[in-house]
Amino acid sequence: MSKSVSPLFATGLLLASALVASTLIADASQSYGFGKVLPPNEAAKWSDDVRGDGKGLPPGHGSVKDGQTLYASQCASCHGDFGEGAGRYPALAGGNGTLKADRPVQTVGSYWPYAPTLYDYIRRAMPFPTPGTLTNDQTYALTAFVLNVNNIVPANADLDAAKLAAIKMPNRNGFIDVHLKPDTHAVACMKNCKPAPPQITSDLARTLGVTPSVTSDAAHLDIDESTAPAKTSAKSAKGDASSMDALSNAAPAGKAGTVVAPAAPAATVTFAQIAPIVAQRCATCHAAKPTQAGFTSALMGIRLDTPEKIHSLASQIKTQAVSSHQMPIGNVTKMTDKERALLGQWIAAGAPTP
C-alpha cells in the first residue's frame, strides 16, 4: 500500500520554501547595526605580511650583536644557547646536508627558503609566550643572529630590508614550484628491475629483539651480522670503537637517546688528553680567532682556547657535548663518541688542568 502527497500540500511546501529563501537573501543585504567598513589607512595596519622577495619588510635595522643579547633572554630557553634546540623545541641551526637523509634535520640554515619570511615569522609568532611584542629593530636583530649561527651572515652583519632581501638561503632552490604540472618530472625505470634484498640496519629493531635471526633467514635476506641479536662478529666488536655496541661497554646508558660517561678516578684522564679534542672539535668556533668558516669572533662570546677557560666551562661542556650531544652544532667537527666519553671522564675527575 502506498501513500501520495496531495498536489495542494506540495504546492504549499514549495511556496513556503521560496518565502524562506527570499527572506534569507533580503537579510543578507541588510545592515545589522554593528561593525564598520575599515578606511584604507586602518586596513593597511592589518596588511603586514612579508613576501619572500622582501616586499612588505618595514623600516628598521638590527645587528648580530644586538640579536645575540635578545636571543639569550627571549629565545635560548626554548631553542638552546646556540640554536640547537632545547627539550622538544625545534632546532634553529645545523642540519646542513641532511634533507635527503632518512631523518632530515630541518632548520633555518638547512631548509628555510627565503630570509625575509624568517623576519615575518619571528615578528608574528615569537617569542612564544608573548608574540607580537618585538619592535622592528629587535626583529631584524634576532633575524640577523639566527642567520649568523647558521653561517649565512658574518658576526658583524647589520641587516635592514634591502640587505635581508638580498640574502640567498642555502636551500633556496630546493623547493618545487606548486604551479608546475606535474610537480616532478621523474620517470620510473621499468626495465630489467632487480629486487634488492632487504638489509636490517635499525638499532631499535636490534634492541627490541625483532631482527630476523641469521640462521633462519640468511638464506633469503642480506642481513648484516652486526645487527643480529647475540651474533655480533668479533671483528665488529673489537674494531669498530665508534659503534654503539663498543661504546656501551665503556659507558652506561643514561636517559633515552643519551650516553653518560662513567665516573673515573682523577688520575685516569689528564688535561693533556682532552686538550686536543677541545682544540679540534670545539675551539674552531669558540676561540678569539675562530677557524670555522663564517665566524670572525667566538660564538656567543664563549671561548675554549685556554686551559683556564676550558676548566671554568667544564659543566657546560658536559651538558652540551657529553650528555646531550647538542654540540658541536650538527657535529660539524665530527666529535666521536669515544671523545665525548673521554671528556666526561675528565670532568668527572674534577676537570684538572696543568
Query: Where does the pLDDT of residue 112 fall: very low under 50, low under 70, confident under 90, or very high at 90 and above?
Result: very high
Round to whole Å and give the CA distance between 181 and 327.
42
Which grid cell is 100?
Answer: 635527503
List beta partners, residue 62: 159
Residue 351 lies in a domain: yes
Q: What is the pLDDT of residue 204?
A: 59
| 142 and 239 belong to one structural domain | no
Cell numbers 626495465 correspond to what residue? Answer: 191
Query: In the structure, what pLDDT confidence band is assigned to residue 141 with cuts at 50, 70 and 90?
Result: very high
Q: What is the percent of the chain where pLDDT is above 70? A: 67
pLDDT > 80? residue 61: yes
**Segment of 1-5, 26-30, 148-152, 228-232 carrying the highest mean pLDDT:** 148-152
C-alpha span between 288 and 241 (Å, rounded): 33
Work out the average pLDDT over 132-155.
96
pLDDT of residue 202: 62
210 plus 323 within the same structural domain: no
Q: Of 116, 150, 165, at which residue does a domain stop?
A: 165
Residue 324's CB is within 10 A of a number of other CB atoms, namely: 17
* Statement to judge: residues 315 and 330 lie in one domain: yes
State residue 214 phi and psi, 5-degree precision.
Answer: -65, -40
E strands, 55-144, in order? 61-63
pLDDT(252) > 70:
no
Residues 144 and 258 in one domain: no
Regarding whether 243 and 129 lie in a shared domain, the answer is no
Residue 183 counted as domain residue: no
Q: Do 240 and 127 fall within a single domain? A: no
Quick one: pLDDT at residue 45? 75
- Mean per-residue pLDDT for 333-354? 90
Same domain, 65 and 159: yes
Domain that holds residue 206: 200-231
Rg from Cα positions in the chain: 30
| 184 band by pLDDT with thresholds 50, 70 and 90 | low
The answer to whether 285 and 328 are in contact (CB under 8 A) is yes
The answer to the question of residue 181 being in a domain is no
Q: Is there a single domain that holds both residue 315 and residue 243? A: yes
**Is residue 29 included in any domain, yes or no?**
no
Task: Identify the band that residue 299 occupies on the pLDDT scale cut at 50, 70 and 90.
Answer: confident
Same domain as 351, residue 238: yes
Residue 193 per-residue DSSP state: -
Residue at which a domain ends, from 149, 165, 181 = 165
Whether 212 and 310 share a structural domain: no
Q: Establish if 260 belongs to a structural domain.
A: yes
Predicted local confidence at residue 217, as pLDDT: 38
Alpha-carbon torsion (183, 185, 191, 195), positive or negative: negative
Cα 178–Cα 182–Cα 185 angle in degrees, nearest 5: 110
Between residues 264 and 100, the one the model is more confident about: 100
Indicate the pLDDT class of residue 50, thresholds 50, 70 and 90. Answer: very high
Check whether 236 has a pLDDT greater than 60.
no
Residue 49: inside a domain, yes or no? Answer: no
Q: How far apart are CA 26 and CA 20, in angstroms?
A: 10
15 falls in which pLDDT band (50, 70, 90)? low
pLDDT above 90 covers a percentage of the chain that reads 35
Same domain for 349 and 251, yes or no, is yes
254-295, pLDDT tens digit by residue? 444 444 444 444 457 898 888 889 988 898 888 888 887 767
- Local structure of residue 239 (DSSP, 8 states): H
Is residue 211 assigned to a domain? yes
**CATH number of the domain residue 139 falls in:** 1.10.760.10
C-alpha cell at 81: 644557547
- Domain contains 38: no
What is the count of structural domains for the chain?
Answer: 3
Cα–Cα distance between 185 and 192 in angstroms, integer? 21
**Cα–Cα distance, 124 to 143 (Å, whole number):** 13
DSSP class per residue in 282-346: TTTTSSSS--STT-SS-GGG---SSHHHHHHTHHHHIIIIIIS---SGGGTT---HHHHHHHHHH
pLDDT at 42: 84
With vertex at residue 235, the alpha carbon angle to CA 230 and CA 236, rounded to the nearest 5 degrees, is 60
**Range of lowest pLDDT (8-12, 108-112, 304-308, 325-329):** 8-12
| Same-domain status, 218 and 258 | no
